[in-house]
Copies of this chain bind each other. A is one copy, B any other.
Amino acid sequence: MEGRTRALAALERDFGRAVEELVALARIPGVSAPGFDPGEVARSAEAVAELCRESGLQQVEVVRIGDAHPYVLAEWLGAGPDAPTALVYAHHDVQPPGRPGRWQTPAFEPSVRSDGRLYGRGVVDDKAGLLLHLAALRAWLDTTGSLPLNVKLLVEGEEEIGSGHLADFLRACRARLDADVLVLSDTANLETGLPSLTRSLRGMVAVDVGVRALDHPIHSGMWGGPVPDAATALGVILGRLVDERGAIAVPGVYDDVPELSRDERAALEKLPFDEAAFQRDAGMTPGSSFAGEPGRGVYERLWHRPSLAVTALEAMPLAGAANQLIAEARARVGVRLAPGQDAERVRDALVAFLEKDPPWGVQVETECGCAVPGWRSETVGPAFDAARRALAAGFGRDAVEIGCGGSIPFVGPFVEVLSGAPALLLGLEDPPCNAHGENESLDLDDFRKAARASVHLWAELAEALR
């Protein structure tokens, strides 16, 4: 019996164990955001290291760079110096749980519901992304005592807060991480059950805008009329961001957006798209329509065009309001960038627009958050062909190629540091998964299919890159 066949059989036999491990790992509230216990992220790293050891990986190490949350490194290099090497990336930290009352079951008590999905913070983002590969590697090692190629594993602990130390980490460990192909989890499938290769990521810019009109709140009757207020001024400023067509009104934002080729557009049009399902998965209110630029398809708007949203807004809450002119109001404006755009240029354009001509000359201050460029890749060559074969074998369906509307800041630097090795972006987030939101969930059937595809992937890559 071929090694791959035995590994697949072992995977099926032990799949319950993989789910149990996922549930145990997702019980650890390893939230990397400030204000949460960093000890839990450390506990999460230790648990990941233990899982690596139990899976048969070697040189397992919990690594700290400066004050960063710990990373985990592991490897199996038994295929020898002539065999190709794959570097697998995942992250073990998670987003804050959000509002506890909105979770149907507690965020850190993972539970399977009748829809066949496992609910809990981090289950899909990105703990399943790690465990599907560990399950596949263990299936190979348990049954054949070896892997078809060398594998290195890097599990980050600060992805959800921007991977602040990843560049340093990559520089420090460059030699140890050298590989012929990268396998990155933490991306999405277009539909549940439809394997997807992600070929582009959008970039992201975020700018906080604070408006100050007054020293302190004052009586809206005694002063209203001649005296400006911060909330109305902020409303005016935010109202300028979108034009009447629904497009971004910030000058220059579209200037360096690469237009899709005819072939690229045709490929997008061939992808399955169920408008009703899309709106339902997004949770759009009945009767509402799509936003963004008219004349562009939904996938183009999502993956290849910049988009703008006010992602935070605060002034005087309604409950505390007392008919006063509001002194200060703040918002965060986020722009997702098309792959290929210059992030710093767009950030500067947004800042200039927010600060220009403040209503009534009120004080406007901006504070720049991230400015991360997007990323794109040609999906041609033996590694991509190998991935397509593995996904088709694992899922029983041909893979599609998609973009990702989100940003994964580390992908660009990662590929660059590792000398441009091909990057396979394969993940398990599906439309209803609600990553980052409450009631995050994972389709357990896809988890099994992806683990199967991972068993195939090591064999296919070993053959393709030999």
Contact = CB atoms under 8 A, between A and B. Distances in A.
Contacts of A225: 291-292, 298, 301-302, 305, 307, 336, 405
Interface string A227-262: 111011011111111100010000000000000000
A206 interface: yes
A288 B360 contact: yes
Interface string A83-104: 0000000000001101000100
Contacts of A323: 204, 206, 311, 334, 436
Contact of A434 (B216, B220, B282, B329): B216
A324 interface: yes
Nearest to A327: B283
Interface in A264-291: 278, 282-285, 287-291
B316 A315 contact: no
A95 B220 CA distance: 14
Given A236-B242, A437-B219, A285 B322 contact: no
A152 interface: no
B437 A311 contact: no
Interface stretch (A177-185, A207-215, A376-384, A448-456): A207-215
B435 A219 contact: yes
Interface string A322-335: 11111101111010
When all copies of this chain in the complex are counted, the total is 2
Residue of A214, A311, A327, A362 ringed by the most chain B CB atoms within 10 A: A311
Interface string A295-308: 00010011001011
A392 B85 CA distance: 95
Contacts of A438: 216-217
A80 interface: no
A361 interface: yes
Q: Per DSSP, are chain A's interface residues mostly helix, strand or loop, or mixed?
A: mixed
9 nearest CB pairs, A to B: A239-B239, A221-B406, A235-B238, A215-B283, A225-B307, A312-B321, A225-B301, A231-B310, A313-B315
Given A216-B438, A220-B336, A313-B314, 6 more contacts: A218-B437, A220-B307, A226-B302, A229-B291, A287-B361, A288-B360
B216 A405 contact: no
A282 B360 contact: no
B231 A435 contact: no
A220 B324 contact: no
Nearest to A429: B222
A202 interface: yes
